[in-house]
Structure 1
Amino acid sequence: MQNLLSNLKITINEKLYVKDPETSELGRKILKNSIILIDEIGFESFTFKKLGEKIQSNESSIYRYFENKHKLLIYLSSWYWSWIEYNLVFATHNISDSLNKLCISIKIITQNIIDDKNTPHIDESILNRIIISDFSKTLLTKDVDTENKEGFFLVYKRVINRLIDMITEVNPKYPYAKSLASSIVQGALHQHYLKDHFKTITNLSDKDCLSDFYIHMIKKILS
């Protein structure tokens, strides 16, 4: 699996960038340092001017890759969900048991993320923190319907659709597979956020139990 992951090429919607950042050293430097800077100061305070200062490049050079920071955030989110999808595919492709496949997928979606050394310009552990705190900012906008039609959230929806298919395999008669799948993906982010900021209202602050919680829940629901 690791050999396969080391050769993966993540493809992002071309409408999210002006120039593909994966095609140049500067572009990869923009991705790497934007993740670090957003994590350090927050997306609200993040600007291309501050990023330019961090990478010692003109602000205008960043605009040659991204139109604005909103599209950069959607780009990073798409990259993250693509990476999650690759892990889902490779971890389950030889699993025949439907429930086991679903449980493995839930563990991948809910686990604490560590950096994947196969992607040196992307620190997935830091990117995961950004997704936990800021992914909702890509969705909760006035332009979400237009951006959805443009395919900006295609990979995110694809991850959820994979879960929907697995849930349906386990129990074809369960009538709420879509709601359950989307609740698992979005709920996992919310629970991690609670762990970091509202410890008194989640069991995750006491122990790493998120995968256990969702696996317990789906077994009860789908049995």
Structure 2
Amino acid sequence: MEIILSNIKMQVNEKIYVKDPETSALGKKIIEQSIILIDAIGFDNFTFKKLGEKIGSNESSIYRYFENKHKLLVYLSSWYWSWIEYKLVFNTANITDKKEKLKKAITIVTEKVTDDIYTDHINEAILNRIIIAEFTKTFHTKEVDQENKEGFFLIYKRLINRIVAIVNEVNPDYQYAKSLVSTIVEGSLHQHFLKEHLKSITNCNESVTTTQFYLNLAENVLR
């Protein structure tokens, strides 16, 4: 599967960027180093000026790829969810048992992420930390409705609905499949955050994983 993934370009809405960063060495360097820098200093403190200093390039060169840092964060999020979607598709394609298919899907969207060595300029483990900490900032904005119309969150919504379809196969009478799945996907980010920073208000820890919690939740809800 990893070899197949290495040959697939992650799909990101072209309206998010000015120039596709995957088409040049500088663009890939912008993506690679922006992930490292955002993880180090946080998105609020991140600027194109600081990124330019890190990559040894003019700030203006970054604007040739992204209009602003919000668009860059949306790009990183879209790339991440596209990567998760491909993992979901490939890992569930040959599973015929509906419940096992759902378990695998939930595992993929909730498990701890490790770096995929076949994507050389993107460290998915670091990017996952950014998604956990910063993802809600991509749509908690005044422009969310317009950006939604333009398809900025299409990949994320498509991933959700792929899992919704599996839930409907497991229990077609369950009325709240979309709410359940969106709660699992986004809620898992929150539980990972609590596990790392606010340990006293989550049951997830070194022995109880976020995946175990959501597998238990889904099993009890859909029985």
Measured against the shorter chain, the TM-score band is over 0.9
Q: Write the distance in 2 (CA, Å) between the matches of 1:162 and 1:37.
A: 32
How many matched pairs? 223
- Hey, what does 1:24 align to over in structure 2? 24
Aligned: 1:69 with 2:48: no
Q: 3-state SS of the aligned residue for 2:15? A: helix
- Hey, what does 1:55 align to over in structure 2? 55
- Hey, what does 1:207 align to over in structure 2? 207
Map Cα deviations across residues 143-176 of structure 1 (whole Å, 9 max, x no partner): 0000000000000001100111010000000010
How many angstroms does 1:28 deviate by? 0.1
Percent identity of the aligned residues? 64
Give the AA of the match of 2:41. Answer: I
- Hey, what does 2:84 align to over in structure 1? 84
Q: Write the distance in 2 (CA, Å) between the matches of 1:3 and 1:24.
A: 22
Q: Write the distance in 1 (CA, Å) between the matches of 2:108 and 2:152.
A: 23
Structure 2 unmatched runs, 5+: none
Q: Write the distance in 1 (CA, Å) between the matches of 2:202 and 2:96.
A: 33
Structure 1 unmatched runs, 5+: none
Give the AA of the match of 1:112. Answer: K
Give the AA of the match of 2:82. Answer: S
How many angstroms does 1:206 deviate by? 4.1
- Hey, what does 2:166 align to over in structure 1? 166
Map Cα deviations across residues 74-119 of structure 1 (whole Å, 9 max, x no partner): 0000000000000000000000111100000111111110000110
Map Cα deviations across residues 29-77 of structure 1 (whole Å, 9 max, x no partner): 0000000000000000000000000000000000000000000000000
Q: Write the distance in 2 (CA, Å) between the matches of 1:109 and 1:96.
A: 19
Runs of 4+ in 1 over 3 A off after TM superposition: none
When normalised by structure 2's length, the TM-score is: 0.98
Give the AA of the match of 1:17. Answer: Y
When normalised by structure 1's length, the TM-score is: 0.98
Q: Write the distance in 1 (CA, Å) between the matches of 2:3 and 2:118.
A: 9
Q: Write the distance in 2 (CA, Å) between the matches of 1:93 and 1:6.
A: 18
Q: Write the distance in 2 (CA, Å) between the matches of 1:77 and 1:112.
A: 16
Alignment of 1:103-122 (within 5 A): 103-122=103-122
Give the AA of the match of 2:172. Answer: P
Give the AA of the match of 2:159. Answer: V
